[in-house]
Amino acid sequence: MSAIPRLVLTAGEPAGIGPDLAIELAEQYQDYELIVIADPALLWQRAEQLGKVIDFELVDLDLPPITTAAGVLRYLPVQLAEPVEPGVLDKRNADYVLQTILTAHQGCQSGQFDAMVTCPVHKGVINDAEIPFTGHTEFLAEQSGVEKVVMMLACDSLRVALATTHLPLREVSDAITTTSLHQILDIIEQAMKTQFGIAEPNIAVCGLNPHAGEDGHLGSEEIDVIDPVIASFQEKGSAVSGSWPADTIFLKDRLENIDVVLAMYHDQGLPVLKHAGFSSAVNITLGLPYIRTSVDHGTALDLAASGLAKLGSLEAALAMARSMIASRGRA
Please name which of 233, 238, 208 lies closest in space to residue 220, comparing C-alpha atoms: 208
196 closest CA partner among 264, 255, 284: 284
Superfamily of domain 149-284: Isopropylmalate Dehydrogenase (3.40.718.10)
Q: Which class would CATH give 1-146+288-331?
A: alpha beta
CA dist 276 and 283 (Å) reads 14
Q: Which of 269, 251, 173 is nearest to 219 (CA)?
A: 173
Global pTM reads 0.90
In which region does residue 249 sit, left (phi positive, over 0), alpha (psi from -120 to 50) or beta (all else)? alpha
CA angle 14, 306, 304 (to 5 degrees): 20
Each residue's pLDDT, cut to its tens digit, for the chain (331 residues) gives: 468 999 999 999 999 999 999 999 999 999 999 999 999 999 999 999 999 999 999 999 999 999 999 999 999 999 999 999 999 999 999 999 999 999 999 999 999 999 999 999 999 999 999 999 988 988 999 999 998 999 999 988 899 999 998 889 999 999 999 999 999 999 999 999 999 999 999 999 999 999 999 999 999 999 999 999 999 999 999 999 989 999 999 998 999 999 999 999 999 998 998 888 767 789 999 999 999 999 988 999 999 999 999 999 999 999 999 999 998 764 4
Domain ranges of the chain: 1-146+288-331, 149-284
Question: Could you give the C-alpha distances from 11 to 55, 120, 122, 258, in angstroms and in order?
Answer: 17, 8, 12, 34
pLDDT at 331: 42
pLDDT of residue 1: 47
Task: Report the pLDDT value the prediction gives residue 2, as an integer from 0 to 100.
Answer: 61
pLDDT score recorded for residue 157: 83
For residue 88, the tally of other CB atoms under 10 A from its CB is: 10
Q: What are φ and ψ of residue 76, in 5° steps? A: -115, 130
Compute the distance between CA of residue 76 and CA of residue 78 in angstroms, rounded to an integer. Answer: 7
In the prediction, which pLDDT does 166 show? 82
Measure CA of the first residue to CA of the last residue in the chain; give whole Å.
13
Identical fold between 1-146+288-331 and 149-284 = yes
70 near 29, Cβ under 8 Å? yes
